[in-house]
Amino acid sequence: MCRHLGYVGPAVPVGELLVRGPHSLRTQAWAPRDMRGGGTINADGFGVAWWHGGEPPVTRYRNPAPIWTDPAVEEVLPHLESTAVLAAVRSATIGMPVERSACAPFLHEQWAFSHNGVVPDWRTVSSAVLSDLDAAATRAGATRLLQTGDLLEAESATDSAALWVLLRRLLDPAAPRDLIASPLAALRLLVTTVVTHAPAARLNLLLGDGASLWATAWEHALSALVTDDYAVLASEPYDADPRWQSIPEHSVVRAEPGLLTVESLNNDPVTERAV
Ligand code: GLN
């Protein structure tokens, strides 16, 4: 399964974050430690998004070739600086296309998104999830938050691109606040709805807006390194820093410098962790 990483903190070279640590994201592409049966290497491309306060607020670079073959990682990306970065290396799920448009991060307005996992039978499941979410939004007073044709907007014919179409609708300011009070609530609603239709789904989602990071751990690895100065969420720790925390299964988290909120997706109480 893919590996992803998000960073918010003092400005860093974008390329440095891809190679940071003895177990960097680039190393995790060919020697991941915790794939949990979802493939062995992440050779089907990579992508990195960074925020820069311009218009559009977030830009990305993607390549469908293995990250370790791309000289831009060492020759170009280190010359770009940003205070927020979201990156992913991809191992395509069987039957899904290997192409640049299938590589995360997916973007929309200020948002960048990555999915590490799989939605079995994703075409049928994403249509069913779309109608459930639309019904919930209609009950909460919104008219037609989601429409059947929306899934055609998916950038690639993959489960991850379809999930992004659904999630970005939930993040829309027009979405009913009673139902979706925050990005964390949007992730919770999406994951819990998908698993009602696809109980075997693996849904490690990672979302950023340039100031905060949100992620879910659902049948895949997720770790957090949060200090007063910076926050990192990553599929696997990139170094041996003892401050890395392993995020429990079935959680949704929000991270920013000085704050890590971990909430269970099984409806347990919220924990705010001191960092
Ligand atoms: N299913 C997604 C894809 O094919 C994500 C794959 C993964 O996590 N390995 O792009």
Burial string for 95-113 (b: 16+ CB within 10 Å, else e) reads ebeebeebbbbbbbeebbb
Does residue 271 belong to any structural domain of this protein? no
Residue 206 CB less than 6 A away from ligand 1: no
Residue 35 has a pLDDT of 61
What are 66's two structure tokens? Answer: 């293995």
Q: Considering its fold, how many domains does the chain have in total? A: 1
pTM here is: 0.95
Handedness of CA 125, 126, 128, 133 (dihedral sign): positive
- From ligand 1's centre to the CA of 273, what distance in Å? 30
Residue 2 CB less than 6 A away from ligand 1: yes
H-assigned helices in 140-257: 159-170, 183-197
Residue 175 has a pLDDT of 92
Residue 119 CB less than 6 A away from ligand 1: no
By residue range, what is the domain housing residue 90?
A: 3-264
Name the packing angle between helices 159-170 and 122-139 (round to 10°): 10
Contact of 104 with 163, CB cutoff 8 Å = no
* CB-based burial label for 53 (10 Å; 0-12, 13-18, 19+): exposed
Shortest-distance Cα residue to atom 10 of ligand 1: 92
Does residue 34 belong to any structural domain of this protein? yes
Does residue 232 belong to any structural domain of this protein? yes
Q: How many CA atoms lie within 13 A of 181 on its CB side?
A: 1
Residue 90 CB less than 6 A away from ligand 1: yes
Does residue 275 belong to any structural domain of this protein? no
Listed as ranges, residues in the chain with pLDDT below 50 are 269-270, 272-275
Does residue 137 belong to any structural domain of this protein? yes
Cα(195)–Cα(202) distance, integer angstroms: 9
List, in sequence order, every beta strand (DSSP E) within the chain.
Answer: 3-13, 46-51, 58-63, 81-89, 106-108, 111-118, 202-208, 213-217, 223-226, 231-234, 245-246, 251-256, 259-264, 271-273
Cα(271)–Cα(160) distance, integer angstroms: 28
Measured in degrees and rounded to the nearest 5, phi and psi for residue 182 equal -160, 165
Active site residues: 2
Does residue 216 belong to any structural domain of this protein? yes
Does residue 23 belong to any structural domain of this protein? yes
CA distance readout (Å), 135 to 53, 97, 241: 36, 31, 45
| pLDDT, tens digit, 9 for 90 and up, residues 16-25 | 999 999 999 9
- From ligand 1's centre to the CA of 159, what distance in Å? 7
Cα(148)–Cα(93) distance, integer angstroms: 25
Residue 148 has a pLDDT of 87
Contact of 96 with 90, CB cutoff 8 Å = no
Residue 160 CB less than 6 A away from ligand 1: yes
Residue 260: which CATH number? 3.60.20.10
- From ligand 1's centre to the CA of 31, what distance in Å? 17
